[in-house]
Chains A and B, each alone.
Chain A
Amino acid sequence: MNAFVDPAGMAGHSGMTKGEVLLRVDNVSLAFGGVKAITNISFDIVKGEVRAIIGPNGAGKTSMLNVINGFYHPQEGTITWRGKVRRKMKPYEAASNGIARTFQNVALFKGMTTLDNIMTGRGLKMHKNFLWQCLHWGPALREENEHRRKVEEIIDFLEIQAIRKTPVGRLPYGLQKRVELARALAMEPELLLLDEPMAGMNLEEKEDMSRFILDVNQQFGTTIALIEHDMGVVMDLSDRVVVLDYGRKIADGPPEEVQSNQDVIDAYLGVPHEN
C-alpha cells in the first residue's frame, strides 16, 4: 500500500505557489576556453511545471543543467533562484539549496544496496555530528529512523521494495535509473533535474518512468526540468519545452507549438544545401 504523502510536507521549501517563477536564467553565456557551450540564453522555469530541454547532440543541454544546479557558473548573465539573484556557490551550498538531479550515465555507489544509496540522499539533512552518528544511539538513532521512514516512503512510491537490500551493481539498468531518481527524491528537492531519464530503456520501462515522473510532479508538487531525446515522451510529459541548438535557444513554448516550429525541424533534420 502506498502511504499518501502530504505534498506540503515533502516540497514546502520556499513557500512559493504554483505558477510563480521559480528559476530564471537571463542572457546566460558559458564558455570553456574558446568553446562556447551556451550563448546568450534566457528562459524561466515556473513552480509546479514539467519543463523539457531538448536539442540535438552537443546543443548544450547538459551544460545548461549544470548551470542551473550551480555546478558551473556562467561567465555572463544572471540566474534568479526563488526570486533572488544567485551568486557563485560552493558545491555543498549548491547541493543544499533545493535542487537535485540525476545523471545521464547512472552515478550510483555500485557496491552499496539500494537502501543505502537512497539514504545518502538524506546526508545533508542529518544534523547530528559525526561522533553522534558513530555512536548510533539515542538522538542519532532517532534521527536516522526518521530519515529511514522518508526513504521507505520513496521506496514505496517508486515500487522498488523488492530490491531494497540488493547491491545496485547487480540491478538491471532500468532499475538503476529508478534508484537514482529515488536518491534525488530523498533530498526532497523543490526543483528536480533529470538528465535523460529514459536513455537506454525499453518501452515498458519508459512507460513506468513516465508514470513516476508525472506522479512526482503531481503528488509532491515537485518542479521538474528534464532533458530527453525521446520526442514521444517529451511531448506527453512536459508543459513547456525549450529547444537549444549549438548553444543557442531556437524555440520556447508548449510542446505542440515547438513541434511545428520550422527552426526546430531544421535543427533536427538538417537543412539541404543550396547547390
Chain B
Amino acid sequence: MAGSPVVERLDEDTFPKILLRNARVFADRPSMREKDLGIWQAWTWSQVLEEIRTFAIGLQDIGFTQGDKIAIVGANRPRLYWSMVAVQSLGGVPVPLYSDSVAEEMAFVLEHAEVRFACVEDQEQVDKLLSMSESLPHLEQVIYDDPRGLVDYDHSRLHSFEGLQVAGRKALEGDPARAEAWLEGIAAAKGADIAVMLYTSGTTGRPKGVMLSFDNLVISARNGNKFDNLNETEETLAYLPMAWIGDHVFSLAQAYCAGYCVNCPENLETVLSDRREIAPTYFFAPPRVFEGLLTHIMVRMEDAGRIKKKMFDFFMGVARRVGEQILNGEDVGFGDRLLYRLGDLFVYGPLKNQMGFTRLKVGYTAGEAIGPEIFRFYRSLGLNLKQLYGQTEASVYITMQPDGEIYGDTVGMPAPDVELRIAENGEVHYRSPGVFVGYYKNDEATRSTKTEDGWVLTGDAGFIADNGHLKIIDRAKDVGKLSDGSLFAPKYIENKLKFFPNVKEVVAFGDGRDFCGVFVNIDLTAVGSWAERNNVNYASYQELAAHPHVYEMIRSHVDQVNRDLASEPMMAGGQIKRFLVLHKELDADDGELTRTQKVRRSFIAERYQPLIEALYDGSTSKHVRTEVTFEDGRKGGIEATVAIHDMELYPAQSGGMKEAAE
C-alpha cells in the first residue's frame, strides 16, 4: 500500500502546506473524530481546512503575528490540534504543555518561552493561567475551547475558540483578500522554519525547550510512514499528552503526511471502550498500558467458567509455542497452523476484540523496557507489537524494529536516514534529518548535547548486538566499570532480575569493585501466594525474606540472569557473584526510593554500609540493625541476620543469538 500515489509524490514541506494538499486530495476522507454526546463526530480534511482557516483569521484579528508563540494546554481535543496548525499557518510557533503540570511548573515554561497567547481546553486551565498572570507579563490573550463555567469571566483578555472562528468567518466573507493573504503567508514558509517547541519533562533540572523544524518533523514522519507502510486508511487514537513528542509525531506529523484519521476519546477514563469502538490500526502505548491490559485480562480469566478457562489455557499454550513464529513468517507445521487458526477463532480473536486490537497493523511501545513475557504475550496473539527507541531531540525515531526482526531485548535497527555510533564510553550517538535545531535560549545545553557536525549525545549507554540491533543498557552516567575493566550497567542487571514476578526491587553494586553484588527485595504478593501454595509459614516480611526456600528461589533467578549475561560478550563480566535478600522492603518513607519508586542507589549504599562490606569481604552472614520510619512518623528499628550467597559464574560465550529466560 506504500505506493499510494498521492502520498509518494510530495514537495510540501510544512504542515499548513500539507493541510492544503490533504484538503485537495483527501477532501472527503476523515481527518479527525471526536466522541461527543456519545456519538463519534467526524471532520473531513476539507472541513478541517475550513476550521483551521477561520480560526487562524480570528487569531490574526486579536493581534497574533509572525513569530509569536502560543501555549497549548489541555487533553487531546481536535480544536487544540487545529490551533497548532493554524498558528503555524501564521508563522507562529505552538508550545504544547503538559496539562497536568501544576501552576508553578507551567509558569516557568510560559515565561521561558515568552508566549503571548495561550489556547487552553477548559475552565480548569483558564483558572490556572489567570492565577499566575501576575508573574507572566508576556501573556496577553487566552483562548478556550470549552465555554462551560466561563460565562461570567472577564472577557477582555479571554476568547472562546468558537467566537474567534465566527469572527474569522465574517472577516473572510467581508474581504476576499484575507484568504489570499493567508495562502500567501503559507506559501512563504520554509521547511527550515521552527514548527514546534516541546519542553522535555526535565527529570534533571529545569525543562528545556526543544526546537524542531518542519523539516525535522516532516522527514521523520514520512520515514516512519514508509517504514510501516502507513497510508490514509489508518486509524489512531490520540490519548497521550500533547506535549509529548510521541503524540505530536503520531497524531499530527504522521497523520498529516499520510492523511490518516486521528480519533480523540471522549475523556481519559473512556479510552478503553473508545479504543474498542475505533479499533485503531496504528497504536502507541508505553509498556505500563500493555502491562495493565494483560493483568486485567488475566484477572478476568481467573473468574471465567471452567470450560472457558480450559480453552483459554490450551490455546494460549499453542500461541506461546508457535504464535510468534507464525507472525514472523517462519516455518511452522501444518497441525500447529491449524490449531492456531482454531485458537484465533475461539480465543485470540475475541481477546483482541476486547482490547480493541482487531484491526491493529502495527503497535509500538517505548519509553522504558517492557518485560519479555508481556511483549511475547501480545506478539503470540498475532499482534505486531514492536519496540522503538527515540527522543524528543530526534523527532522520535532513532531505532525501530523491522517486520520479521523483532527481538524482545533489543530496540531495533537505525530508523531510515539515521546514523548511529557508539562512543568510547559506551554512549549512543545519532545523526539524522530529525535532529533538533537547538534548545530555546539555552545554547550551553545545545552545545553539550549536539556536536558541531550534527551528532546528538543521547545520554544512554548501549551497544550494537551481533544481529545489528541496538541494545540500550542504562543511562550513560550510571554505567561504571568493575576493577578488572569490564562494563558494569546496574540498571540493566536490575531490570533483568526485576522481570521475575517474585522480585520487587533490586539494587546492584559494583562500580570500581571486584565483582557485581546485589540486594534483592522479594515481592510480598507473589512470594506470599507461593508460600501459601507450598505450606511455607511466615509471620512477617522479614521472616519470609530469610526463608531458605525463598533464598533458593531467588538463587535460581540470579543464576538465570547470570546465564543470560554470559551469553552477551559486552555484559558477561558483570555477572552477579554474590547476592542477599534484604530484611526489609525498600520504602520511599525511609528515603530509599524516590516518590516515583526508583531506587536511590547511593543513599542505599550509605544506609546499608555494613551489608555492602559483608557482600565484598566474603562473609556468609551479617547481623544488622536498621532504623525505619513508620507511616505516622515514629521511628523504630529492625534487627536481622542476613545471609549472603555466592553464585556460580559462567564463562562468556561469544556470538549466538540468545533467547531470554523461559
Which residues of A are interface residues toward B (Cβ below 8 A)?
1-4, 148-149, 152-153, 155-157, 159, 161-162, 164-165, 211, 215, 218-219
Contacts and interface: CB of A to CB of B under 8 A. Distances in A.
Contact of A1 (B145, B149, B151, B270): B145
Most A CB contacts (10 A, CB to CB) among B37, B79, B122 go to B37
Contact of A215 (B34, B77, B148): B148
A203 to B, nearest CB: 17
A174 to B, nearest CB: 14
Contact of B147 (A4, A157, A162): A4
Contacts of B39: 152
Given A215-B149, A218-B149, A219-B149, A1 B36 contact: yes
Q: How large is the interface on B (under 10, 10 to 19, 20 to 34, 35 or more residues)?
A: 20 to 34
B266 A161 contact: yes
A165 B266 CA distance: 14
The 4 A-B residue pairs with the shortest CB-CB distance, nearest first, are: A162-B269, A152-B37, A2-B148, A161-B266
Given A152-B38, A155-B38, A161-B38, A219 B270 contact: no
A60 B381 CA distance: 63
Contacts of A157: 148
B417 interface: no
Given A161-B266, A161-B269, A218 B36 contact: no
B303 interface: no
Interface in B16-63: 34-39
A219 B269 contact: no
B149 A149 contact: no
B328 interface: no
B146 interface: yes
Given A218-B152, A219-B148, A159 B38 contact: no
Contacts of A153: 37
Given A1-B77, A215-B148, A159 B267 contact: yes
Contact of A162 (B122, B145, B146, B267): B267
B146 A161 contact: no
B99 to A, nearest CB: 15
Contacts of B36: 1, 3, 156
Contacts of A152: 37-39
B517 to A, nearest CB: 45
19 contacts: A1-B77, A1-B145, A2-B122, A2-B146, A3-B36, A149-B37, A152-B39, A153-B37, A155-B38, A159-B267, A161-B35, A161-B38, A161-B266, A161-B267, A161-B270, A164-B38, A165-B273, A218-B151, A218-B152
Contacts of B266: 161-162
Contacts of B122: 2
Interface in B246-304: 266-267, 269-270, 273
Given A1-B145, A215-B148, A162 B270 contact: yes
Contacts of B147: 2, 4
Interface in B131-151: 145-149, 151
Contacts of B145: 1
Given A2-B146, A218-B151, 16 more contacts: A1-B145, A2-B122, A2-B148, A3-B36, A3-B37, A4-B148, A149-B37, A152-B37, A155-B38, A157-B148, A161-B38, A161-B267, A162-B270, A164-B38, A215-B149, A219-B151
